[in-house]
Structure 1
Amino acid sequence: MTGTYSLSRKEGWRRFVDTTPRTRPDVLTSAGLAALSGDARADYDEARHDWHANFGIIATPQLRAVREELELIVASNRQDPDRVRGAAVIDGHPGLGKTTIINLFARDYHRVALRRHGELTDQGHEHIPVFRVGLTSNTTLRTLNKMICQFYGHPGADRGSAAQLAASALDCVLSCQTRVGIIDDVHFINQHSRDGLAVSNHLKWLANELPVTFIYAGVGLSERRFFDEGLSGPSAALAQTARRWTRFEVGLFDHDRHWLALVKAIDRQLVLAAHRPGQLSGLAGYLFARTGGHIGSLMTLIIRGCFKAIRIGDESISQGLLDTVRIDEAAEKARRTPVGTPVRTAGGRERS
């Protein structure tokens, strides 16, 4: 059974950091499957379901490019505590792997920091190189501070004013020598509301006070004019977000060699008795039409397709089988659109 944990708690984050890659189940022939006992077959199928849902991350061009930029920003942020470090923000539409890119980078950074500096700080505190929180649609100044305290397991996380929780969060970060802060789903910040403006200003305060490189992720930030805050009129001189945050966009795949390479890489991971090498690659065009170049939609389609192929005994992925698998509504809506009709994406672009 797949473990359950939250990356917004240090225990869950540490489990994610410490987890070793899964072992790929052996590919059995149809005769090998038939020779298994009932319990052995059930266990084997469970192992395959877990594998297909978690076989690892494929190094797409987007992942490699953004990772290199994050490494540059974090490694070069060596300013003394009295100076503000630059931040990075990963922007893009849903289902393109933004959170995955950040989590993988932060996981590797965490591992390296522990190897170099040990499990404890010089003062004997737990060394936690990275903290991670995800915002919600009703995040306020107090709840943001509370979430940071909860990540560290601070005993006072459930009580105190916003200012008291901010002081506790500051103490946690400093005591644990945290150097990277991940804040996901920043698109929930409404800078035109009172609470949203308070949260936005608090993020700037944290960047001023903490010796931490912040990495943010959000959906459609550019379209929401998230970076235009304060950049016009008499307040232009006070603008900070667009000056301090380096934006990286994770875009859709095009139907090109990169898409084909991605499908080929997935093809090699399938553990199905009747699957032939290259079979999935032959469906690259169909898969693009079904998912519109969204890697999240693609993975959902493949995972559910593999589950169904095992359950019904086909042990193979075909277009006919995938036609019976429903995925996210955006992809299904595009699927129903006649070929050649421009489809407007969430960002306003048209794709044929």
Structure 2
Amino acid sequence: MHREDDQDTLDLIRDLMSLNVTLVLIGVNIPGSGLLREGRHDPRSGQLVFPPVKRGRSYNDEAATQTERRFDMVNLDPFHYDTPAGITAWIAHLNGIEKQLRLFRSTPRLLTRNTMPEYLFRRTGGIVGLLKRLIEDGCTKAVESGKENLTIGLLDELTINLGNVPDRDAAAGEVPALKSEADSAQGQQRKRGRNTVFDDRGGRPAADA
């Protein structure tokens, strides 16, 4: 909530609360963002300062202000791949995405055939935002390379990177750390090691010449 746009969003939500309408809002880490909490203006920094979340007796345990008490928070977990129902939901989601893709050489069931569902889940952990970024980057690479198709081999060449997304603020938690990608890269570096063939170990001592 340290950006002007964030504070404008909070003001807009408060204005809409006076209307007889139902709002369905979607976001990431809403409790931690301070969007629904009351804040005071800090003249030194020019930003809103929010108190820590307090738990009380209400339908929403995290409601601490009038703004929060007007909303029911529904937490949506990532997709799961450990039950038949979870797998079915994941594949249905992929099926909906692949119907929207337009690649000239795409094959039938582009994202749901063979081991592609398992691969995409392993890369993204079932998180929709990471899946969206991986597929977008994959399609971009497929078009630029002329392959016009998504394959596991092509996606293997990509690293999920949220740091170069415009308007994302790392300080506000909008750029999550991708441990799986980072750990994988570090593991490859450790495994590869350094080539020491051309190291200069110095000349032979004169006594050994």
- Tell me the TM-score range normalised by the shorter chain: 0.5 to 0.7
* Distance in 2, Cα, partners of 1:287 & 1:266: 12
Aligned residues: 147
* Distance in 1, Cα, partners of 2:92 & 2:17: 41
For residues 9-24 of structure 1, what are the structure 2 equivalents within 5 Å?
A: none
* C-alpha deviation, 1:260, in angstroms: 1.4
* Distance in 1, Cα, partners of 2:156 & 2:104: 20
8 Å Cα contact 1:268/1:277 also seen in 2 = no
For residues 38-77 of structure 1, what are the structure 2 equivalents within 5 Å?
A: none
* Distance in 1, Cα, partners of 2:76 & 2:96: 20
* Distance in 1, Cα, partners of 2:22 & 2:179: 39
* Distance in 2, Cα, partners of 1:300 & 1:287: 11
Greater strand share, structure number: 1
2:110 maps to 279
1:246 maps to 72
Q: Secondary structure at the match of 1:320?
A: helix
1:266 maps to 97
Q: Mind listing any 5+ residue stretches in structure 1 that lack a counterpart? A: 1-135, 152-168, 202-224, 232-238, 339-352
TM-score for the superposition, normalised by structure 2: 0.53
* Distance in 2, Cα, partners of 1:138 & 1:188: 12
* Distance in 1, Cα, partners of 2:183 & 2:26: 36
* Distance in 2, Cα, partners of 1:269 & 1:249: 27
* Closer/same/farther in 2, CA of residues 173 and 199 from structure 1, 3 Å limit: farther
1:226 maps to 53
Larger Rg: 2
* C-alpha deviation, 1:187, in angstroms: 2.8
1:323 maps to 156
- The code of the aligned residue for 1:259 comes to W
2:139 maps to 306
1:187 maps to 32
Q: Secondary structure at the match of 2:142?
A: helix
Greater helix share, structure number: 1
8 Å Cα contact 2:95/2:109 also seen in 1 = yes
* C-alpha deviation, 1:179, in angstroms: 3.6
- The code of the aligned residue for 1:334 comes to S
2:169 maps to none
* Distance in 2, Cα, partners of 1:173 & 1:247: 16
* Distance in 2, Cα, partners of 1:336 & 1:328: 10
2:172 maps to none
* Closer/same/farther in 2, CA of residues 290 and 180 from structure 1, 3 Å limit: same
- The code of the aligned residue for 1:263 comes to L
8 Å Cα contact 1:326/1:332 also seen in 2 = no
- The code of the aligned residue for 1:271 comes to R
* Distance in 2, Cα, partners of 1:149 & 1:279: 41
CA-to-aligned-CA distance 1:289-327 (integer Å, 9 cap, x gap): 110110111011111111110111111101111111221
User: What percentage of residue pairs aligned between the two structures are identical?
Assistant: 27
8 Å Cα contact 1:290/1:332 also seen in 2 = no
* Closer/same/farther in 2, CA of residues 149 and 245 from structure 1, 3 Å limit: closer
2:2 maps to 137
For residues 17-166 of structure 1, what are the structure 2 equivalents within 5 Å?
A: 136-137=1-2, 144=7, 147=8
8 Å Cα contact 2:79/2:127 also seen in 1 = yes
Q: Mind listing any 5+ residue stretches in structure 2 that lack a counterpart? A: 43-47, 58-63, 82-86, 163-175, 185-209
8 Å Cα contact 1:300/1:327 also seen in 2 = yes
* C-alpha deviation, 1:263, in angstroms: 1.4
Give the root-mean-square deviation of aligned CA atoms: 4.3
* Distance in 1, Cα, partners of 2:71 & 2:101: 39
* Distance in 2, Cα, partners of 1:319 & 1:138: 39
* C-alpha deviation, 1:267, in angstroms: 2.0
